[in-house]
Amino acid sequence: MQPDLRAGEHWLAKRSPDERKRLGQWPTPWWVVRAVTERAVADLGSAPVILDPACGDGRFLLAAGKLRPDAVLVGVDVDPDAIEAAHANLAAAGLRAELRLADALAEPSPLPAADLVLSNPPFVRPQHLPVAQRTDLWARFTVASDKADLYACFVERIFATAPRRALVLPDTWLHLNSFAALRALVANAGPCDLYSLPSNAFVGARVLTVVLLSGAGAADRAGSLAETGWTETGPLARGEHAWSLDGALPELPGARLDSFVSLHMGVVCGDYPRYVHPEREHPLDQPTCRGRDVERWQLGPVREYVRYEPTDMLARKPYVAPKHAGIFAVPQKIVLAGTSGRSLRAAMDEEQRFPLDSCYVLLPKTPEVDLWAVLGFLLSDRVSAWYGARHRAARVKAVEVARVPIPSSGWGPVADAARAQDDARLNEAVDRAYARELHGTR
């Protein structure tokens, strides 16, 4: 039965959406708290110290205290109202815990050594952190590289604090390039188990999440956790650039896509209302498209124009990089949607569109590269399986697409099938090209 967590509801009702975003304040559904805690505390020794360094309203500590009355419970949170709510929730359940108001990532660490950390640390993208905080954290935490997330800093600190961890995390660290250091840190700590949560587990948040169990008892298992319980699907697959919960990662032979084509972001104008219009209004207006206009094989009709003034765009927003027109005003290029889900969505553009930055543009590196063949490979079932197993995020990243393996020969039939938009013929030709690459036959 769900305990009385009303104090937590009152706490969050006081917070504005911006405050919640900056502090990553999304409470864990009670059924997840209960299932994760039951599993994590089961075989701990006597009187274990159980810590939640981002305790919010104290729900993980509450679940732990109910299951293990001998435990010493410690909670830390940076928000005084969260600490107050945790006091109230734990008192209502007849439990005692040491609750500390502190920044869990401060130096020196305010966290006590613990036997187990149970937590759902805050998920906060670097651009939503105050600049001074981000600069400080990105200098101190080895996993905070590039576009990682605040939760990566928490994982680093938690791994240094306790030998066992049961954490609710977004799934982005499993496949994004910016989390390579975090994957290495978790892997170096030994086996772990990973279970995906349902996509709607967090009400009102569009984030895919996983449960990470690390420390004694973990055995590189993968599976899922639903309200009905845990399901194991097989071993956790750890690839060089991504980990997968869906079985072995399919491998493909070939050279990286970016040895054949260059990848560019579309026009980064920095101000859509100023530069993008539904009608052609200005001599510099160019037909454009957004990710949503990229259909499989072809672009939807022109619905908007972008006034292409790179100097003006740069003067107004010095960080934008609108590129030079030569990237866009070419007879042929591939336009790739910037959000694609588990397979790539791309089209051939022969109308000299100037796509916006919700798209990428792919250009041949040498005149011999046949873009129809490249498009065919990208839209084939083989590449979809390769890409989809590694990259579950909706957002497509150029560094990840650049790694798609492309065979060195067998391009002709792939290009022909792509021009004809004949999927059956395309998949056969693509399979033959990869088989030939693998076995070295010409």
Ligand X SMILES: C[S@@+](CC[C@H](N)C(=O)[O-])C[C@H]1O[C@@H](n2cnc3c(N)ncnc32)[C@H](O)[C@@H]1O
Q: Look up residue 188 and give its two tokens.
A: 């170096």
Q: How far is the CB of 104 from ligand X (least distance, A)?
A: 4
For ligand X, the closer CB: 66 or 296? 66
Q: What is the DSSP string of 361-421?
A: EEEESSTT--HHHHHHHHHSHHHHHHHHHH--SSB--HHHHTT-EE-SS-HHHHHHHHHTT
For ligand X, the closer CB: 52 or 370? 52
CB 369 within 8 A of CB 260: yes
CB 70 within 8 A of CB 50: no
Does residue 59 touch ligand X according to CB under 6 A? Answer: yes
For ligand X, the closer CB: 55 or 155? 55
For ligand X, the closer CB: 99 or 236? 99
Query: Which residue in 82, 88, 267, 371 binds ligand X (CB under 6 A)?
Result: 82
Tokens 């869990």 map to which residue?
104
Query: Which residue in 104, 201, 236, 336 binds ligand X (CB under 6 A)?
Result: 104
Does residue 288 touch ligand X according to CB under 6 A? Answer: no
DSSP 3-state of 307: strand
Measured CA to CA in angstroms, residue 400 lies from 241, 264, 326, 376 at distances of 9, 13, 24, 18
CA-based R_g, the chain, Å: 25
For ligand X, the closer CB: 12 or 314? 12
Does residue 24 touch ligand X according to CB under 6 A? Answer: yes
- 98 vs 86: CA distance, rounded Å: 10
For ligand X, the closer CB: 96 or 365? 96
Q: How far is the CB of 343 from ligand X (least distance, A)?
A: 31
Does residue 78 touch ligand X according to CB under 6 A? Answer: yes
Q: Look up residue 319 and give its two tokens.
A: 């960080």
For ligand X, the closer CB: 199 or 259? 199
Does residue 23 touch ligand X according to CB under 6 A? Answer: yes
List strand residue ranges (DSSP E) for 125-259, in order.
165-170, 192-196, 209-214, 221-226, 229-235, 237-238, 243-244, 255-256
Does residue 268 touch ligand X according to CB under 6 A? Answer: no
- 320 vs 373: CA distance, rounded Å: 32
Does residue 65 touch ligand X according to CB under 6 A? Answer: no
Query: Which residue in 34, 44, 79, 197 binds ligand X (CB under 6 A)?
Result: 79
Using DSSP bridges, classify how beta strands 49-52 and 72-77 pair: parallel, antiparallel or unpaired.
parallel
Interacting positions 117-136 with ligand X (CB under 6 A): 120, 122
CB 186 within 8 A of CB 159: yes
Q: Which amino acid is at 47?
A: A
- 372 vs 417: CA distance, rounded Å: 9
Does residue 358 touch ligand X according to CB under 6 A? Answer: no
Q: How far is the CB of 152 from ligand X (least distance, A)?
A: 13
Q: Look up residue 52 and give its two tokens.
A: 């939640």
Q: Site for ligand X (CB under 6 A): how many residues?
A: 22
Q: Look up residue 114 and give its two tokens.
A: 């613990």
Task: Specify the stretch interacting with ligand X by CB under 6 A; choose among 50-58, 264-272, 278-286, 295-303.
Answer: 50-58
- 400 vs 294: CA distance, rounded Å: 19
Does residue 76 touch ligand X according to CB under 6 A? Answer: yes
- 35 vs 213: CA distance, rounded Å: 12
Query: Which residue in 77, 149, 400, 437 binds ligand X (CB under 6 A)?
Result: 77
Does residue 355 touch ligand X according to CB under 6 A? Answer: no
- 64 vs 48: CA distance, rounded Å: 10
Q: DSSP label at 177?
A: G
Query: Which residue in 64, 97, 105, 210 binds ligand X (CB under 6 A)?
Result: 105
Does residue 28 touch ligand X according to CB under 6 A? Answer: yes
For ligand X, the closer CB: 151 or 275? 151
Task: Specify the stretch interacting with ligand X by CB under 6 A; choose among 71-79, 300-308, 312-320, 422-430.
Answer: 71-79
For ligand X, the closer CB: 1 or 424? 1
Query: Which residue in 54, 111, 181, 426 binds ligand X (CB under 6 A)?
Result: 54
Task: Specify the stretch interacting with ligand X by CB under 6 A; choose among 97-105, 240-248, 351-359, 420-428.
Answer: 97-105
CB 217 within 8 A of CB 232: no
Residues that bind ligand X (CB under 6 A): 23-28, 52, 54-56, 59-60, 76-79, 82, 103-105, 120, 122
